[in-house]
Structure 1
Amino acid sequence: MPKSQRLIQLIMIINARKTFTVQELADELGLSTRTISRDLQELGALGVPIYSVQGRGGGYRLLRERLLPPIAFSEGEAVAIFFACQSLGFFGSLPFDEGAATALHKFYHYLPADMKEQIDRLKDRVAIWSPERIMSPAPLRTLLQALMSGSVVTIAYSSGQGETRRDIQPIGLYASSGYWYCPAYCYLRQEVRQFRADRIRSAALNPTHPGLPEVGEMTLWNSLPELDGAAETVEFTIELTPRGVWTLASNNRFGPAIVRGADGGGTATVRIGAKDLTFYADLAWRMGEDARITAPAEAVAYVRGKIEAMRARYT
């Protein structure tokens, strides 16, 4: 077995076991203990965090987090990964600590010189941009941790009705227009709700709350119906100009529902919770003349009320 392949295989075994002895590795790979000891010393010199365990039994232990083995990328894959990671820098806050920045630095550092030149020429010319909106990254990290462990989170949430303390079970986490959103089951309201992460003033895992198994099976794509299916829903229809179609095409609710016309405009009809009517009406309001709500009548009346209030302010 070539030495490079042997070292990669060693890293994979060490990742899986965390603790091991030289003899165990020697038996598994069919090599001498002397060769394994030499390979472990070389891995340590390369930065793999291995340290020896003293005392009866002895052996070695992998310190800190696991390391992934090297992966071969094509040139196209390398460029795609670089700019995907770089795009995260446009967000004001991320749930990944400094992981994205350090990963990008490592990735770029070990690229061949000609690939670095190609990427350098594209810097400041290609970007996956998102409006930067500053918020504390701490709630995002807690929500991400909860998603990975299936935990319930206790949050302090600020809304138009004031600040409330509640337990939520996160279903997902996604970014749109610079904001981070977290659909979650709210135990205070006993329904699935959407929370804006920048309105979460504090967040902590709640290890005493068991959560609901059925919520744990939900994803971003199947969590839109209410948990018990009993909440009232209405059909929300919106007419769009060509620019309006372009604006909503990336929206995960409206995008798939858009029916385009010959002039580039279109219409979209989605079923929403009746309690969320003003949220979606406000979305259309922010689009100005590029969107017009046609149903339900309550949403049309709501927007007309906003128009009259705005007219009064400028009269």
Structure 2
Amino acid sequence: MNERRLAMMRIIDSRKKFTARELAERFNVSVRTIQRDLDYLQQIGFPLYSEQGAHGGYRALENRILPPLQLTRTEALGLFLMLEMLEKVPDFPFDAIRSHLAVQYYGSLPSDVQTNIDQMRSHISFRMMQLHEPAPWTTEILEASIAKQEVRIVYKSAKGSKEHNVYPYGIYFENGYWYMPARNPEKTLLFRVDRIQHVEKTGANDPEVPSLAEWMQSTDDRDKVEVVLRFTPFGMRLAKDDPILHTAADGQWSGPVPLEEFPFTARRLLRFGPDVQVVSPPRLRDLVLQLLQDSISQYKE
């Protein structure tokens, strides 16, 4: 397919209606040439609809076929690697299409590029952390957040299952788990998606609900306390793999931490063992000490 026809597909896909003369003027060719191009696009499956009359023209139908990708060999290999990597992300939204797309795309490639991919597969591996529990509701949550719709969820916590009516902002994947920040009538809550047992739409909408990007960029107005941590050299290596503590430098990390996250932070620090020390505040240090004492006590019984 030549560049003009590819450009025509992009123009047609972005406009409600166009005429052959408009396209002819755009590409500086005859109307007859444009009509031949349109006939070709219809033959390969691009869904065009023609309207006759003074105000007639062509338009793309709703169920349109998107323009094909025109990639170099290096770009094709990179795209296939991305598809392979996405296969390893558990419960990826709209994941029913992933394996189909990988197979379909692979089958459309020239044989020499297929050979390159087959060779490459034996030299690269994506070892993603697998969820302990499935998170089957990622697609429904993402669709509700885009439409700014309220959902009723059944959420399983340490205290048992409970219903929540919330407006999800979106979902994000971190350390092997999907998370859903969402707003209830009082505040923003953060849910682990694999602990959501059921999701259903309530029918309510709120156009003022922020997107995930807006929420992540917003100011956290919770009460915070400055935390100072000191690491050993080995602790610094561990900290570099932590999504929060990776900014540690010169054996130390400091930053504001919401008071309500102190219990979570104390448990997070346990994995560092003797390679981290809570310098301040005393409240966080006491929480870590209590967890360590509880761990030791179970071995003394």
Using the size of structure 1 for normalisation, the TM-score is 0.76
1:249 to 2:240 alignment: yes
Aligned-partner Cα distance in 2 for 1:243–1:98 = 42
1:67 to 2:57 alignment: no
1:93 to 2:91 alignment: yes
Listed one character per residue, the Cα deviations across residues 102-130 of structure 1 (whole Å, up to 9, x for unaligned) are 44334433444444333322214212321
8 A contact 1:253–1:270 mirrored in 2:
no
1:238 to 2:229 alignment: yes
Q: CA deviation at 1:166?
A: 2.7
Equivalent residues in 2 for 1:88-237, closer than 5 Å: 88-133=86-131, 134-137=133-136, 139-184=137-182, 186-188=183-185, 190-205=186-201, 208-212=204-208, 215-216=210-211, 218-219=213-214, 221-223=216-218, 225-226=219-220, 229=221, 231-237=222-228
1:308 to 2:275 alignment: no
Partner of 2:248: 258
Aligned-partner Cα distance in 1 for 2:62–2:104 = 20
Deviates more, 1:170-179 or 1:83-92: 170-179
Deviates more, 1:81-90 or 1:147-156: 147-156
Aligned-partner Cα distance in 2 for 1:304–1:18 = 66
Distance verdict in 2 for CA 1:130–1:24, change over 3 Å: same
Distance verdict in 2 for CA 1:10–1:172, change over 3 Å: same
Deviates more, 1:270-279 or 1:170-179: 170-179
8 A contact 1:22–1:37 mirrored in 2:
yes
Equivalent position to 2:278, from 272, 283, 293: 293
8 A contact 1:155–1:201 mirrored in 2:
yes
1:284 to 2:269 alignment: yes
* Percent identity over paired residues: 25
Aligned-partner Cα distance in 2 for 1:169–1:246 = 38
Aligned-partner Cα distance in 1 for 2:71–2:107 = 15
Distance verdict in 2 for CA 1:193–1:269, change over 3 Å: farther
2:95 alignment partner, SS class: coil
Aligned-partner Cα distance in 1 for 2:169–2:40 = 43
Using the size of structure 2 for normalisation, the TM-score is 0.79
1:270 to 2:259 alignment: no
Listed one character per residue, the Cα deviations across residues 226-246 of structure 1 (whole Å, up to 9, x for unaligned) are 3xx2x3112233333445434
2:217 alignment partner, SS class: coil
Aligned-partner Cα distance in 2 for 1:297–1:211 = 43
Structure 1 residue ranges (4+ consecutive) displaced by more than 6 angstroms after TM superposition = 53-58
Aligned-partner Cα distance in 2 for 1:68–1:243 = 51
Q: CA deviation at 1:54?
A: 8.6
Aligned-partner Cα distance in 2 for 1:306–1:47 = 64
Q: Considering only aligned residues, what root-mean-square deviation do their CA atoms show, in Å? A: 3.4
Aligned-partner Cα distance in 2 for 1:220–1:128 = 30
